[in-house]
């Protein structure tokens, strides 16, 4: 059973309203990843296209994009696990290579969320909950994460200012990420005084919808060394799921699926949280990043607030997290998000992250959540 490496990565700029088609949007990330490896379309054994279908006017976009990108007659797959789709795509691509079916697999995530209105988008997000038992009551993503925030506040004494500090950090690094939607400094008082969305979460506690694409190319060990001088190896993969309905969860102060997926990934990689040098976590809301600190073992339950207060998750801190601005600054084009997180860590491990570069990282972790803790994917990479 051969090892599997990421040999090429690409990402479009994330924007609020992309003017072209999904074909053109996908091509932007695809071109960057393919150029890195000098591969030709015929060299790709299979492609996995990832998005959330409720935003796509094109039914079964995998076939359309594969044709446009020149990836036919090779097989193509369409994969969806909402916000974690493209990191789940990596798990499937890894499996296809480990099984011996293919030597090189391409994972492309995309979302053109501006295809529909904000109101339509919110309604579709609400349908990510159980359409019989929860979403008819008007539940929306901010309200769900506000429940997590309130539970964390009540149990551990976390404050609105603690969450605001996470947004300040996101803006610090979003300013230097040329592919981010938001590239402006945000001060602490701006976060705290911004409009309330769902108590205690305010406007700056929430990420924004975006249009974007990401692309990853995976290869078997013998092919990888021919395709790049800096293969980044997949060391650990973990995935888990949770009850759709919040009433089925045993706790609201963290995401059990993230803890389960992290345990699986760490066991596969034969390491622990203390070995991670840089991480990307799914910060769709500031409280989501706070819970990730604790779910991943970077802090004990209730002590994540000390990491951000002491700036330990900044670039020069003990465990740099989301030093590309995270979803809070980059934006969150659902199908492309996990691939963007993976790209960031690949660049870090190659030493190619520019102004965002962490000093000499060896091990990187990606934490990608689908829905409100419905799916979790944890990926551990090494240079």
Task: Give pLDDT tens digits for 206-241.
Answer: 999 999 999 999 999 999 999 999 999 999 999 999
* Out of 53-57, 89-93, 180-184, least confident range: 53-57
Q: Cβ(281)–Cβ(292) under 8 Å? A: yes
The predicted model gives 314-334 an average pLDDT of: 98
Q: In which region does residue 140 sit, left (phi positive, over 0), alpha (psi from -120 to 50) or beta (all else)?
A: beta
Determine the Cα–Cα distance for residues 84 and 337; give it in Å rounded to an integer: 7
pLDDT recorded at residue 54: 84
The predicted model gives 96-125 an average pLDDT of: 91
> Are 252 and 372 members of one domain?
yes
Q: Among the options 50, 83, 207, 284, which is catalytic?
A: 83
pLDDT recorded at residue 17: 94
Give me the helices (H) in 209-320, please.
221-227, 256-269, 286-295, 304-309
For 121-167, the pLDDT digits (tens) are 878 877 778 888 888 887 889 999 999 999 999 999 999 999 999 99
Residue 47 within a domain: yes
Averaged pLDDT score across all residues of the chain: 95
Give the containing element (helix H, strand E) for 77.
strand 76-79
> Are 176 and 164 members of one domain?
yes
> Are 180 and 221 members of one domain?
no
Residue 36 within a domain: yes
- pTM recorded for the entire structure: 0.97
> Are 218 and 271 members of one domain?
no
> What dihedral angle (degrees, nearest 10) is formed by the CA atoms of 307, 311, 314, 318?
-60
> Are 113 and 173 members of one domain?
no
Q: Among the options 148, 152, 332, 367, which is catalytic?
A: 332
Residue 122 within a domain: no
The predicted model gives 22-50 an average pLDDT of: 97
> Are 227 and 364 members of one domain?
no
Query: Per-residue b/e over 293-313, b at no fewer than 16 CB within 10 Å?
Result: bbbbebbeeeebbebbeeebb
> Are 147 and 240 members of one domain?
yes
> Are 173 and 193 members of one domain?
yes
Residue 135 within a domain: no
Domain encompassing residue 220? 4-117+214-232
Confidence of residue 64 (pLDDT cuts 50, 70, 90): very high
Q: How many CA atoms lie within 13 A of 341 on its CB side?
A: 37
> Are 243 and 113 members of one domain?
no
Residue 164 within a domain: yes
Residue 198 within a domain: yes
> Are 200 and 227 members of one domain?
no
pLDDT recorded at residue 124: 80
pLDDT recorded at residue 173: 98
Q: Edge-to-edge, what's the strand order for the sheet holding 375-382?
A: 76-79, 46-50, 104-112, 211-220, 4-11, 232-241, 375-382, 363-370, 278-280
Measured in degrees and rounded to the nearest 5, phi and psi for residue 351 equal: 75, 30
The predicted model gives 257-262 an average pLDDT of: 98
Query: Per-residue b/e over 31-54, b at no fewer than 16 CB within 10 Å?
Result: ebbbebbebeeebbbbbbbbbbeb
Give me the helices (H) in 296-363, please.
304-309, 326-330, 334-350
What percent of the chain stands above pLDDT 90?
Answer: 88
pLDDT recorded at residue 76: 98
Catalytic site residue 332?
yes
Q: Cβ(76)–Cβ(102) under 8 Å? A: no
DSSP state of 321: B
Confidence of residue 2 (pLDDT cuts 50, 70, 90): low
Measured in degrees and rounded to the nearest 5, phi and psi for residue 88 equal: -65, -35
Could you give the number of structural domains in the chain? 2
Question: Can you say how many angstroms the Cα of residue 163 is from the centroid of all Cα atoms in its chain?
Answer: 19
pLDDT reading at 9 higher than 90: yes
> Are 190 and 286 members of one domain?
yes
Catalytic site residue 83?
yes
Determine the Cα–Cα distance for residues 266 and 238; give it in Å rounded to an integer: 8
> Are 241 and 377 members of one domain?
yes
What CATH number should be reported for the domain holding residue 265?
3.40.47.10
């Amino acid at each position: 059973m051969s090892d599997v490496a990421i040999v090429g990565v690409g990402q479009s700029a994330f924007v609020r309203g992309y003017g072209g088609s999904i074909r053109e949007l996908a091509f932007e990330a695809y071109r960057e990843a393919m150029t890195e490896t000098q591969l030709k379309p015929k060299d790709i054994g299979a492609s996995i296209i990832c998005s959330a279908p409720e935003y796509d006017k094109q039914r079964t976009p995998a076939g359309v994009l594969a044709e446009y990108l020149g990836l036919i007659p090779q097989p193509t797959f369409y994969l969806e696990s909402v916000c974690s789709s493209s990191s789940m795509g990596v798990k499937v691509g890894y499996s296809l290579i480990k099984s011996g079916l293919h030597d090189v697999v391409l994972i492309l995530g995309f979302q053109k969320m501006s295809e529909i209105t904000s109101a339509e988008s919110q309604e579709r997000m609400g349908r990510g909950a159980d359409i019989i038992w929860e979403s008819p009551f008007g539940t929306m993503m901010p309200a769900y994460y506000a429940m997590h925030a309130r539970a964390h506040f009540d149990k551990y004494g976390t404050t609105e200012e603690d969450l605001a500090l996470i947004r300040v950090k996101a803006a610090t690094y979003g300013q230097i990420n040329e592919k981010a939607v938001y590239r402006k400094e945000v001060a602490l008082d701006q976060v705290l005084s911004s409009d309330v969305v769902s108590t205690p979460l305010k406007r700056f506690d929430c990420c924004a919808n975006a249009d974007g694409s990401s692309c990853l190319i995976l290869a078997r060990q013998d092919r990888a060394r021919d395709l790049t001088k800096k293969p980044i190896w997949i060391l650990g993969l973990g995935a888990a799921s949770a009850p759709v309905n919040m009433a089925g969860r045993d706790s609201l102060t963290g995401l059990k699926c993230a803890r389960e997926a992290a345990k699986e990934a760490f066991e596969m990689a034969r390491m622990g949280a203390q070995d991670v040098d840089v991480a990307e976590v799914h910060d769709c809301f500031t409280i989501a990043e706070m819970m990730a600190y604790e779910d991943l073992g970077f802090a004990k339950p209730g002590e994540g607030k000390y990491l951000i207060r002491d700036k330990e998750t900044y670039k020069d801190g003990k465990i740099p997290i989301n030093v590309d601005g995270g979803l809070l600054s980059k934006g969150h084009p659902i199908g492309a998000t996990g691939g963007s997180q993976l790209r960031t860590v690949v660049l870090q491990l190659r030493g190619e992250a520019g102004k965002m570069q962490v000093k000499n990282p060896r091990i990187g972790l990606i934490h990608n959540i689908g829905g409100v803790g419905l799916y979790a994917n944890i990926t551990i990479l090494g240079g």
